[in-house]
Amino acid sequence: MAAGLDNLKHIVVLMMENRSFDHMLGGLSLVTEKGQKKYPRINGLTGNESNPDTKGAIVKVLPNAQFQGQLDPDPDHHFPGVDLQIYGGQQGEGRIANMQGFVKDYFTQTNNVDRSHNIMSYFTPDKLPVLTALATEFAVFNGWFSSIPGPTICNRAFAHYGTSFGQVGMDIFYILDPIPSIYERMIQAGHTAKIYYYDQQSSTMEIVNLLKNQPQIFATYDQFISDCNAGILPEYSFIEPCYNDHPGADGGQVLASDQHPDHNVREGERFIANSFNAIRTNADLWKSTALLIVYDEHGGIYDHVVPPACTPDGYSAKASDTGTGAPFNFDRLGIRVPAILVSPWIPRGTVVPGTEDPANGQIFEHASIPGTVTNFFLQDDAKRTVREQQAKTFLGSLTDTMRQDDDCIVFGNLS
């Protein structure tokens, strides 16, 4: 086992909302230095990717993503909409995924051809100093996909349970099968785990656990900061950003930091940086923690990589639930999302290859989260789906060598 794994005591997952890989990190592939690509191994954009709009015009990816105001109304990311985005409107047997339906689908929200082009926007790296720094200083995954080509709740369920229990939408799901959440597994085995939600006004998207197990599994983000400072972080932590704008307890303003359109992306950057710094500035915690920053799904925003097939999880969603006229057997992943693993045991500039590298590529999805935590802390747990058991674990980029303290970044200007 690598020394980085021998020293690992804490896994922290920060799950953001609704942004695709190409939208947030795709611009890294276009950065040049002395005439050469600076990050040649990142599977981002060439600048020539395109989609047709509803008038048949070709719309190329656009380096004009804005922090706020550009993706309002909220792009469609429900199951039928994502089906259109992936297949470009093809129906029936034998259709081939081509990622050509994003602009057409956003037109259904905007009813405006020009505004429908905004779905092809991406951030230039200089606009996202936090995500850019983390992706280039630590490990970025070329092949991390949302678990379902659908919305938030079912995708987040995969991060907690390794399955959505057959759900492809936003409905409440009832746990009828004996598959405990990763938090329950950890606690039942004598380990420690917590979900840190931002505050009471924002609360959690993980309601079933909230009802079943409060309060020992839950704490607020303030507690996360305190636990980091005190060096008493649980073995496994899951952080939820703030999901809405609301007045603070002191009368101030609390901004949504989840980056869900149309929430401000820069506020999400600050939240990620703050979470990183909380770990980074405690020397003992820093050397013993792996922080995964990942997005729950793409939010309807363009990505060029075709989602691959996956191991079915034993459930099937009926045609009436998918809204596409066909059932879904959980045999294809959702659209690619940003995922970054942070640890001082990871060499600078690590890129974990994905589907672009058939020989060495590795495919990750949100079932990889409980899969990795179970594998690392519990070795195994019988009450898991086949999907989770076969999901790739994500700690492989931790090495035997810990980087010197002055070789690792820290974020400033956060107060």
Partner 1 sequence: MAASQVISVPKTDPSAYNPNRPAGKLLLSQTAHLREGLIRHLHELVGILAIDIRSLKTEGDVSAYIQMVTAILHPHGAKSPRR
Which of 89-97, 226-234, 256-264, 317-325 is the region at the interface with partner 1 (rule: CB under 8 A)? Answer: 256-264
Binders of partner 1 among residues 208 to 237 (CB under 8 A) are 210-211, 214-216
β pairing state of 218-220 and 193-197: parallel
**Residue 3 within binding range of partner 1, rule CB under 8 A:** no
203 binds partner 1, rule: CB under 8 A: yes
* Contact call for residues 361 and 137 (beta carbons, < 8 A): no
190 binds partner 1 (CB under 8 A): no
* Interacting residue with partner 1 among 83, 105, 269, 303 (CB under 8 A): 269
Binder to partner 1 among 15, 182, 193, 205 (CB under 8 A)? 205
- Is position 329 an interface residue for partner 1 (rule: CB under 8 A)? no
Q: What gap in Å lies between CA 281 and CA 270, rounded to an integer?
A: 16
C-alpha dihedral sign at 166, 168, 170, 171: negative
250 binds partner 1 (CB under 8 A): no
CA-based nearest residue to 297, from 194, 173, 144: 144
Residue 13: its H or E element = strand 10-16
Q: Which of 172, 176, 249, 382 binds partner 1 (CB under 8 A)?
A: 172
Contact 173, 157 (CB under 8 A): yes
Q: Is 62 in the site for partner 1 (CB under 8 A)?
A: no
Q: Could you identify the residue written with the tokens 């990050």?
A: 39
Bridge partners of 141?
Answer: 352
Contact 289, 7 (CB under 8 A): no
CA dihedral defined by 149, 100, 338, 241, rounded to 10 degrees? -60
Range in contact with partner 1 (rule: CB under 8 A) among 114-122, 317-325, 390-398, 405-413: 405-413
Q: How far is the CB of 79 from partner 1 (least distance, A)?
A: 13
- Taking CB under 8 A as the binding criterion, the range among 95-103, 141-149, 259-267, 362-370 that sits at the site for partner 1 is 259-267
| Min CB(269)–partner 1 separation in Å | 6
**Residue 369 makes contact with partner 1 by CB under 8 A:** no
Rounded to whole angstroms, how far apart are CA atoms 395 and 94?
36
Name the E strands within 218-363.
218-220, 236-239, 246-247, 253-254, 289-295, 339-342, 350-352
3-state DSSP assignment of residue 334: coil
Residue of 219, 326, 386, 410 that binds partner 1 (CB under 8 A): 410
Q: Binding to partner 1 by residue 17, rule CB under 8 A? A: yes
Q: How many residues sit in the footprint of partner 1 (CB under 8 A)? A: 46
Which C-beta is closer to partner 1: that of 350 or that of 375? Answer: 350
- DSSP-derived secondary structure letter, 121: B
Residue 102 or 271 having the CB closest to partner 1? 271
For the CB of residue 222, give the shortest distance to partner 1 in the complex, in Å. 17
Q: Which is nearer to partner 1, 258 or 313 (CB)?
A: 258
Least Å distance, CB 209 to partner 1, is 11
- Beta carbon of residue 369, minimum distance to partner 1 (angstroms, whole number): 20
Return d(Cα 274, Cα 293) in angstroms, integer: 12
Between CA 262 and CA 169 the distance in angstroms is 20
Q: Shortest gap between Cβ of 379 and partner 1 (angstroms)?
A: 23
Rounded to whole angstroms, the Cα distance separating 185 from 214 reads 15
Q: Which is nearer to partner 1, 6 or 74 (CB)?
A: 74
Count of CA atoms in the C-beta half-sphere (13 A) of 96:
1
**Binding status of residue 153 toward partner 1 by CB under 8 A:** yes
Task: Please list the residues that pair with 219 across neighbouring strands.
Answer: 196
Binding site for partner 1 (CB under 8 A): 17, 67-68, 74, 129-130, 133, 151-153, 170, 172, 203, 205, 207, 210-211, 214-216, 243-247, 253, 255, 260, 262, 264, 266-267, 269-270, 273, 281, 405-414
